[in-house]
Chain A
């Protein structure tokens, strides 16, 4: 499984990437939506992207809209991971084409359960190397 973690906070990218690597993912990172679109265009395949909302240059919502406008990326699952916690924001993200929505702060279990909702199984946890 391959994931793209998009967040302008390096600390958050590392946090999410570490969880994903431990459950068997190959992880790419991007610091904003524009960078993420470049990574996506260069990648031969992407299973899921974790998308922060508030980022410079191109925010998460614009990224979701851009991905959903491109038929060749239709299979990429998009999960918002954000501090935005109002109902209206969740509705907006889903309407734009996000598949799931995880509110910060979150636990590792919450992230894995959200992946399961997208039909993406986590490999059993492995101790960090």
Chain B
């Protein structure tokens, strides 16, 4: 459900005042997707309710969290680089060796936002793993916002977005200029299956996963919800699978069945042997 105009205007002026960031009209889907996890963490059902609560309070913690959520969640292609180096150099070669007989691979980007992360994985697969030709590869990507998922499916990015973290060699290889935007080639777009899901609610039926990337989203949930999500992800992961969290996130004190492993200078998590 799209955010109403008065709520959008309220957030827009707050973010402008506090962070000097201008949200253009028509960006209510962005506000919705950035603030929905925070609304849930506050025990509210909608972003409109979150705005109502902010209006009823003096500016404080909630206002600060909203500004943070609106400003620090910016995404880029190959964000943080190291998780992608880990996938390329260690995780995917390991998984390919383990799955050589069955020739299937399932990956899930569980907080896909506008699609940069799953498409980065798709390009990485294209560039470095031609041996996957003939395999059944499922690259799933989900986000809480329907508008965001629709946008990600389109695979269209503004110049400011393709400037962010995308190697120029991959830009010219996998994107086509479409007016002032750049559009990801159809064959790469088709590698990713997008769907909408709120990680805190029911999930659709998903195949057992070889790797799950759920980066920079758990921070918005309360402890109980984090535990529940991590537990469900652990059960969905194959016993030798890998979980990637954001740099400021951990499974420690939340789900001790995971063990921390350092791969290519980045931390990921695996199910500890029983």
Contacts and interface: CB of A to CB of B under 8 A. Distances in A.
A complexed with B: yes
B164 interface: yes
B76 A87 contact: no
Contacts of B167: 100, 117
A68 to B, nearest CB: 16
Contacts of A101: 168, 171
A102 B163 contact: yes
Contact of A94 (B74, B78, B172): B172
Contact of A109 (B76, B171, B175): B76
A50 to B, nearest CB: 14
Contacts of B78: 117
Interface residues of A, number: 21
A97 to B, nearest CB: 12
Interface string B127-165: 000000000000000000000000000000001101111
A103 B172 contact: no
Contacts of A87: 172, 175-177
A23 to B, nearest CB: 16
Contacts of A107: 160, 163-164
B160 A110 contact: yes
Most central of B74, B160, B175 by chain A CB within 10 Å = B160
A103 B177 contact: no
B168 A109 contact: no
A93 B78 CA distance: 22
B164 A109 contact: yes
Nearest to B81: A116
B169 interface: yes
Contact of B168 (A100, A105, A113): A100
B165 A117 contact: yes
A65 interface: no
A93 B168 CA distance: 10
Interface string A80-110: 0000011100110110001011110111011
Given A109-B74, A113-B76, A91 B172 contact: yes
B70 to A, nearest CB: 15
Interface in A46-87: 85-87
B164 A90 contact: no
Most central of A91, A101, A105, A113 by chain B CB within 10 Å = A113
Given A87-B176, A91-B172, A113 B160 contact: no
Nearest to A111: B163
Contacts of A110: 76, 160, 163-165
A39 to B, nearest CB: 24
Given A86-B177, A87-B177, A109-B76, A94 B169 contact: yes
Contacts of A102: 163
B264 to A, nearest CB: 13
Interface string B208-228: 000000000000000000000
Most central of A86, A102, A109 by chain B CB within 10 Å = A109
Contacts of A94: 168-169, 172
B11 to A, nearest CB: 21
A105 B78 CA distance: 20
10 contacts: A87-B175, A90-B168, A94-B169, A105-B160, A107-B163, A107-B164, A110-B160, A110-B164, A114-B165, A116-B165
Interface of B: 74, 76, 78, 81, 159-160, 162-165, 167-169, 171-172, 175-177
